[in-house]
Each structure stands twice: as C-alpha cells, then as structure tokens.
Amino acid sequence: MVNSTIQLTQIDLDSFGQFIQKLVREELEKYGRNSHNQENEKDFYTRDETAKLLNVSFTTLFHWNNQGILKAKKIKKRVYYSKSDIQQYLNH
C-alpha cells in the first residue's frame, strides 16, 4: 500500500463507511490472489487434493494409476501426484 496522508475534516458517516469498505475489499482481493498463487506453486498434490481437483474417487485414481493414465508417486508411505501429470491429464 502506498503511504499517503488523508486528512479528515468533514466527511459524513456513509462516505467514511464506503471508504473503509473499499480499503477492506482491496486487501481481501490481494489476499485471495496471493493464496491462489501459493496454491498454484505446488509441485505435488496429495491423493485427497488430486481427487478433489479432478472430482473423482480414490478408487478411480487407483485404477488410473494401474492403467498408466495418471501415475502416482510414492514418497515414503504417502501417495502424491505431480502437478505436471495432472495438467497433462486435464489438457488431454
């Protein structure tokens, strides 16, 4: 936010309320964009995130993995799907 000075000498309550609402809305929009960008920066998604993203069940993901449609990657005991594989599937 740019540093600026606002001098309030005469302002009615409605105008002041609208000004505050505008500032809050702008900050919330910035927050929403930042959190969305952070989500897009992930390289791998959990099985739960992938199922929700593709609107499919865990069983479908299991079958797709066996069929080579969308390959899972195991890291220790957890299952992940790469962002690039998911994007490739969505663009197919």
Position 40 pLDDT exceeds 70: no
Position 52 pLDDT exceeds 80: yes
Per-residue tokens: 83: 């962002």
State the pLDDT confidence band at 16, using cuts at 50, 70 and 90. confident
Global pTM value: 0.54
Average pLDDT, the chain: 84
Between residues 79 and 39, the one the model is more confident about: 79
Count of CB atoms within 10 A of residue 64's CB?
A: 18
Q: How far is CA 6 from CA 13, 15, 25, 51, in A?
A: 16, 14, 19, 49
